[in-house]
A and B are shown apart, each in its own frame.
Chain A
Amino acid sequence: MRYFKPLLFLLLFFCLSVSGQNNLTLMGESSISVSHKATKNYSVNFAARSRYFLNPDDSFGYKQQQMDVYHFSTFKLNINHDLSLGIYYRNRDLFNTGSGEVRFTQQFNYKKQRHSFRFGHRVRAEQRILDTKTIFRQRYRFAVDFPLNGEKLDVGEPYLFCALEGLWSFSKKDTPEFDERTMTQIGWQISETLKLQTGLEYRLEAFNVLAKHSLYLLTSAVLKL
């Protein structure tokens, strides 16, 4: 708990600096994911995620934007390298907020443990198939996660998970678009199999065209069976 106050200050600072931007959209995203290690080298992951507006009509409130379900198959190449293939379905029709999409993802992840810190590099290629166009998106993310108490994450202890990500999207119809995402989450290892996480993500979208700012309040449950 000794980290609670500085973290709170950081979060507040983060909110304030972001709310200084105009046209900021406040969003919320909640997810539950279940993963299972099927064999030594293969694991499956299923997740459901809900996204909602937290300031529809420029006042605090709630309006559902979409539901996502996705699956990832992960192949362990060796100790630190993982290759994952994903399929993703997004529904917006149910909430009358636009059209949904189907997405295919290929990702490569490299992680390195240095004492209590774990650094991760993730490269992703996505094909987002929408009704009117197909968007090709490439992403790179650098992430750090570490326990907040001692050197090892034990049951009942909190951890911090931070990431920086750059995205590049292009399609036949639109000009290429660059996005940037910054994320900080605090999580708890509730039991051997369950992690709960919450945090903030700031997204700067299409900053090379017409920048859009959004702040996401993230909550998630991560189960490992």
Chain B
Amino acid sequence: MKYNIIILLFWSCLLQAQTKNEKEERIPDFQFPKPAYNYFNNTKKPLKRLKFFKEIDGKNKSYEAKFKYNKLHYSVEFDTLGKLEDIEIIIKQKHIPEGALQQITTYFKTNFDKYSFIKIQEQYINKTTKTDTDFINYILENPIGKHTHFEIIAEIKSEKDRLFKEFTFKFTGEFEKSRPISSSSYEHALF
């Protein structure tokens, strides 16, 4: 019995080495890319609960700042050089414009037996000629209607399985892409 446990533990350590390393980790201010860090000092109103994170997704590395501004939860992502990748704001389902919501729900209804939304975000990608810092301030001051995509994390059920997936939709509600994401198991809390 004793040896079995040791073998099990050893085996799970081996498995750990094989899994894809996708990780979000909180970091101190000074580890955040310098140019991007400075963007958050000259906003009109101070940012609430500003936190910095490093994200590793396979081989890709990026940095993320999360904060609250005008009662909205923001997450702003940069590459390793401090270039803006996107801005995301957490919203509720009722905040999705009716036309887009209809397209999105039609997509879920036709592709899955069941679904439930876990997290909905509006995504803003800088397609304008504005510099990153101008774009961030432009969105912070009035984000309404400027989003380019919706990002939805949903738990879905299809014939094969149940899983969590991250979906990206265009602002019109048209499906763009999706990828599975891992969710932590609940066995530790069930019994």
- Chain A residues contacting B21 (CB-CB under 8 Å) are 155
Is the contact region of chain A dominated by helix, strand, or loop, or is it mixed? strand
Q: Mark A210-225, 1 if CB is under 8 A from B, else 0.
A: 0000000000101110
- Chain A residues contacting B161 (CB-CB under 8 Å) are 40
Contact yes or no, B26 A192, CB < 8 A:
no
Name the interface size band of chain A: 35 or more
Nearest chain A CB to B92's CB is how many angstroms away?
A: 12
Nearest opposing residue in chain B for A162, CB measure: B189
The answer to whether B186 has its CB under 8 Å from any CB of chain A is yes
Q: Mark A133-166, 1 if CB is under 8 A from B, else 0.
A: 0000000000101010111111111010101000
- Chain B residues contacting A152 (CB-CB under 8 Å) are 24, 181-182, 184
Nearest chain B CB to A89's CB is how many angstroms away?
A: 14
Contact yes or no, A143 B12, CB < 8 A:
no
Q: Which residues of B contact A (CB under 8 A)?
A: 5, 8-9, 12-13, 15-16, 19, 21-26, 53, 90, 114, 116, 118-119, 155, 157, 160-162, 181-191
Nearest chain B CB to A38's CB is how many angstroms away?
A: 13
Contact yes or no, A120 B188, CB < 8 A:
no
The answer to whether A25 has its CB under 8 Å from any CB of chain B is no
Contact yes or no, A72 B16, CB < 8 A:
no
Contact yes or no, B26 A150, CB < 8 A:
yes
Contact yes or no, A86 B191, CB < 8 A:
yes
Nearest opposing residue in chain A for B181, CB measure: A152
A118 vs B184: C-alpha distance when bound (angstroms): 10
- Chain A residues contacting B8 (CB-CB under 8 Å) are 223
Nearest chain A CB to B23's CB is how many angstroms away?
A: 4
Nearest chain A CB to B37's CB is how many angstroms away?
A: 19
